[in-house]
Amino acid sequence: SGLTTTEGGGTAFFTVVLDSQPTANVTLNLTSTDTTEGTVPASITFTNGNWSTPQNVTISGVNDFEDDRNQSYQIQVTSVTSGDANYNGMTVSPVSVTNIDDDTFGITVTPGATPVITTESAGTGTFTVVLNSRPTANVVIALTSDNTLEGTVSPASLTFTTANWNVARTVTITGVDDAIPVADGAIDYNIITAAAVSTDTDYSGLNPADVAARNANNDTVAFVISTPNTLITTEGGGTTSFNVRLATQPAGDVTLGTAGNLIRSLDTTEGTVSPSTLTFTQANWNVNQTITITGAADAATDVDQAYQIDFGIGSSAIDPLYNGLNPPDNNGGTAGDLNVNNCDTNGAKVNVCLAPGVSALTTTEAGGTARFYFTLSQAPTVDLTVNMTSNDLTEITVPAGATITTGNWNAITSVTVTGVNDFEDDGNIVTGVNTAALVSADGFYNGTDPADPVVTNNDNDTAGYTISAISGNTTEIGGTATFTIRLNSRPTADVTVPVQSNDGTEGAVTSAASLSFSATVGACGGGGDWCNDQTVTVTGQNDALFDGNVAYQIVTGPGSTSSADGNYNGNSPVSVNVTNTDNDRRIFISTNSHTGDFDNDAGLAIAPLFPTTANGNGIEEADNFCMQAINGYPGTGTYKALLVDGTNRTTALSWVLQANYSYYRTDSTFIANATGGGIFSFPLTAAFDTAGTPWTGLDAAWGVGNDCNNWANGTALNSGEEGDATSTGAAAIFNATTTCDNTRSIICVEQ
């Protein structure tokens, strides 16, 4: 039956053994007659030692990705080479093998049964196509949509080659909008995948599955109502109107307003509508049809009256989507669908009317507007102009005039009033528009003086102060901090704000003791400099106390004015919190002594600063020495050794001593102030202590001297510098050089 391999890498083997012992090595050279189906090692060799031991020859199947069915091939011994003449050149029979194919031709389309969703808003969906096996020639698949009114496909065809056959190709389907908006719901269609064209007989004519698609509709049935910004009629028969059309083409005639649900006014004593019924067809569905509203007169002087228009309900015997459809509410949910205002004429020739739902004209200082409207009682013979002025230009502005023509007299003429910001906290101001008497060649209107509209301008200013955050802490070495103050509104008179510290021992105001804000001089809104930030500078004060960081306040006193501005007079800004950072630190001489080797003392590795030891840096352990109670640590604060070695610690700004800080003994005896360079100048005011010879590693000029090999050697072979704790001169830090096997105290400095 022969041997079998598989395209999945499955193997087979046969054995070879010599029949007799050779006099020299014997090599069998091997080959496969079809290396696209199976491979073998290049050779095997027998010696006179292993000639009788069978050797396995492994044959490995090869995948060709083609649907070429099971393929037969042979493993041949191409030659036998040996120094033994009996074996050299010997002929060996071939071994037959069959490679089992694992490829099946086909075309995979993903997704399969699930429709690809597109939308009428050009929304897209995708699917992929890939071959299942490598073809022997190009494979071309054409793609088309069976309904291009719903969706199109791209590309129009796919070509698979012997190189890209296993790369999935993406196909994009794009939804198409209805040429005429129709609420037709989601429409199913298909992308047709044509039979493949190829000279590969397996793929030629192979027809992949078509792809289902669904185009989601973007049209909604609705009545589209178009209205002017303001609907006003007049008791003199003045009219207004609105338009209606359909949003989509209906399946048949649609009527808006039927018996019992007509388009109507809910108060015919104020206004009527015409017509009360509209019909839309498949031809005119998108053409606006106009409803006219006419104001009705009454005998009473009843001021402007609001009333409502009801749109009725849609009706269609053919289109169920429009049948019973209610038009949109344009009225905020109150009675009816549309608000209208019937302007009371009161017998006036020129009427001043307000918009529906508006009972008074209100503007805002932020530029908010209000509108009123002019209507006429009869047609003028010439164009009319109503001249207007503001009664208070600091509160409102109005156009210089409004023109009513002989052509638009029966419509409303709009006038916009705009609020003005005065930047003052003056409350809501009631003012108005002055309408001048008409001067016209029309005798009926000549001399007519329309009513003056009253307007309230709502204030947006509140008296008060804006105070910035403090820039930071002050310090006892004279460090400063700043903040700013400004007014929130323009005062009617100058404002003076005194500023002072509530604790002069911690901080003082070193800028002006009071801030003055002008009501007139300056470029702030409305004049003055009230909107400009004024800076307050606070300087920290030094004391001789170990009081830590102390909080205090800059008190901004009650504002006082040179005239009676009640909004600011006595109006106190909030105080500003400040912290003064203490610069007083303590020094003590350790009560116990130590050799010059701090680094190798394991007992100094447990203090809180540095848990390490024996790392060549003895200063770390010396700092820990200062933090142990048995050596004089007072129980609070962090202390470090005044100790240098030239490598791990040297004198510098912010080393152990802090520039310009004050230093005391733990009994509060003042020692000295550090210089700006972070050292002491000699003589000191008081010595470090009344006894003690501390290690320092310093020379008399604060340079580095001998340091017991970085304070890591406690033998007589090394030396270190020591000071005299009782001296106020340079001997305090350098008094003698001694060998490191001696024990000395150290100077501990609070950080």
Evaluate whether the domain defined by 107-216 bears CATH number 2.60.40.10: yes
How many angstroms separate the CA atoms of 699 and 723, rounded? 9
Spatial CA neighbour of 709 closest among 624, 621, 610, 618: 618
How many angstroms separate the CA atoms of 163 and 167, rounded? 9
Helix (H) or strand (E) holding 578: strand 576-581
Q: How far is CA 217 from CA 34, 171, 221, in A?
A: 59, 22, 11
Contact at 8 Å (CB) between 353 and 412?
yes
- What is the number of alpha carbons within 13 Å of residue 410 lying toward its C-beta? 13
| CB proximity list for 18: less than 8 A, separation 6 or greater | 26, 46, 51, 52, 87
Contact at 8 Å (CB) between 659 and 675?
yes
Question: 429-435 and 384-390 as β-strands: parallel, antiparallel, unpaired?
Answer: antiparallel
Supply the pLDDT for residue 605: 85
Residue environment code for 442-479, b if the CB has 16+ CB neighbours within 10 A, otherwise e: beebeebebeebebbbebbbebebebeebeebbbbbeb
Give alpha helix (H) positions in 264-385. none
In angstroms and rounded to an integer, the radius of gyration of the C-alpha atoms of the chain is 51
What type of residue sits at position 329? Answer: D
What type of residue sits at position 150? Answer: E
List where CATH 2.60.40.10 sits in the chain.
Answer: 3-100, 107-216, 223-343
| CB proximity list for 405: less than 8 A, separation 6 or greater | 383
DSSP state of 305: E
Supply the pLDDT for residue 58: 96
Other Cβ atoms closer than 10 A to 713 = 22
How many angstroms separate the CA atoms of 496 and 572, rounded? 11
Sheet holding 361-364, edge to edge: 361-364, 454-458, 429-435, 384-390, 401-404
The CATH number of the domain covering residues in 465-582: 2.60.40.2030
Q: Which CATH superfamily is domain 223-343 in?
A: Immunoglobulins (2.60.40.10)
How many angstroms separate the CA atoms of 192 and 195, rounded? 9
By CB atoms closer than 10 A (0-12, 13-18, 19+), residue 697 is: buried
- Helix (H/G/I), strand (E/B), else coil: 618: helix
**Residue-wise pLDDT tens digits, 589-617:** 999 999 999 999 999 987 777 787 889 99
Other Cβ atoms closer than 10 A to 419 = 24
Length of the chain as a residue count: 751
Strands (E), 194-320: 211-216, 223-226, 232-234, 239-246, 254-256, 264-265, 271-274, 278-280, 289-295, 305-310, 314-315
Supply the pLDDT for residue 482: 98
What type of residue sits at position 304? Answer: D
Supply the pLDDT for residue 540: 97
DSSP character string of 357-404: T--SEEEETTS-EEEEEEEESS--SS-EEEEEEES-TTTEE--SEEEE
Contact at 8 Å (CB) between 190 and 183?
no
Evaluate whether the domain defined by 585-751 bears CATH number 3.30.300: no
Contact at 8 Å (CB) between 284 and 244?
no
Its pTM stands at: 0.60
Supply the pLDDT for residue 299: 63
Supply the pLDDT for residue 654: 76
Mark the ranges of the chain whose per-residue pLDDT is less than 70.
Answer: 1, 112-113, 299-302, 331-335, 557-564
Task: Locate 240 and state its tokens.
Answer: 């207004």
How many angstroms separate the CA atoms of 392 and 389, rounded? 9
Q: Which CATH superfamily is domain 3-100 in?
A: Immunoglobulins (2.60.40.10)
DSSP state of 326: P
What type of residue sits at position 680? Answer: F
Overall fold of domain 350-458: Immunoglobulin-like (2.60.40)
How many angstroms separate the CA atoms of 440 and 313, rounded? 48
